Structure 1
Amino acid sequence: MNRFLSNATNKIDAKGRVSVPSVFRTVLSALDIKDLYCFQDFVFPAISIGGPELLDRFERQIASEDPFSPQANEMSLLIHGGGVFTKLDQEGRLMVTDFIRDFTGITKEVTFVGRSDHFQLWEPQAFEAMQAEAREKRRLRGLPLP
């Protein structure tokens, strides 16, 4: 298993930690990801999390641009200014920091959402609403639903 799939909602404990779903920890282990790169998603009120190669991919995109271009500067602002590194603790928990809470509105629970090569942290009701909206948009366009 080498892709982040599905979603799960877990409670934040009294110390501000949340258990990462075991299926996601299995993928992290299979891909030998120990350092987690977290960034504020460009579109959704979610924190996207992957390994250092996720940051590398964005930095390659920046390097392909003129370093003084608006595109390169905007991308750097988003991925460097809106990103941090973190690690899971020994029990597979992630600290839900102000960086995460302030951007997502997460308070007591976290919905983990698989996005193939990375996963996201969502406020549960925001995820449910966004997923319902995506389904409705596909339906209105006459596209098949998964």
Structure 2
Amino acid sequence: MKFLGNIEAKIDAKARVFVPVAFRKILQSAGQNVLVLRKDIFQDCLVLYPLHVWDDVVDKLRSRLTRWDREQQALFRQFVVDAERLEMDANGRILIPKRYCQMAGITSDVRFIGVEDTIEIWTNNSLEQTLIPAEDFGSRIQALMNDEPQNH
């Protein structure tokens, strides 16, 4: 399941928003009506995980941590405490809890960004502030890809 796209949307007064059709079709074809919402660890955006992707992430994190270490258990707890299970309604909408809107500074206009196996929800301003200038982006990608072994 791979999401790709940059789609604008509006959140209504009740904090409901339609999951973009392109993303909804991918979710529905995989039988994924349940999503997990969490604020991103590094950026001021929200991340939607299809339930099976969330389960994989939590399992991977848990496998690297022990329940019997106070700091590691606190780290795990902090990761999962801010997660919320959401279900798309029959029209393909989700209800974003108000506290998540506040965490990400979301008021009405948002962008859904497909990022591999997750979907990010951004405000336009927040997204623009995180993007790398085009010239720097090109240089960084070039350096990264030139370090990769050549496949012929």
Please indicate, yes or no, whether the TM-score normalized by the shorter chain is above 0.5. Answer: yes
Name the SS of the counterpart of 1:115 in structure 2.
strand
2:50 counterpart residue number: 51
Unaligned runs of 5+ in 1: none
What RMSD in Å do the two structures reach over aligned CA positions?
2.3
Instruction: Answer whether contact 2:11 2:108 (CA < 8 A) is retained.
Output: yes
How many residues get paired? 142
Considering only CA atoms, is the larger Rg found in Structure 1 or Structure 2?
2
Query: Measured at CA, do residues 10 and 103 of structure 1 come closer, stay the same or move farther in structure 2, by a change above 3 Å?
Result: same
**Percent of paired sites with the same residue:** 23
Instruction: Specify every segment of 5 or more residues in structure 2 that has no aligned partner in the other structure, as ranges.
Output: 144-152
Indicate conservation of the 8 Å contact 1:9/1:110, yes or no: yes
Shift of 1:16: 2.6
Alignment correspondent of 1:90? 90
Q: C-alpha displacement at 1:75, in angstroms?
A: 2.9
TM-score, normalised relative to structure 1: 0.83
Amino acid of the residue matched to residue 74 of structure 2? N
In the aligned structure 1, how far is the partner of 2:95 from the partner of 2:34? Answer: 14
Kindly indicate which of the two structures has a greater share of residues assigned to strand: 2
- Report the equivalent of 1:77: 78
Asked whether the 8 Å contact 1:62–1:76 carries over to 2, the reply is no
Query: Alpha carbons of 1:36 and 1:15: their partners in 2 closer, same or farther (altered >3 Å)?
Result: same
Whole-angstrom CA distance in 2 between matches of 1:76 and 1:135: 38
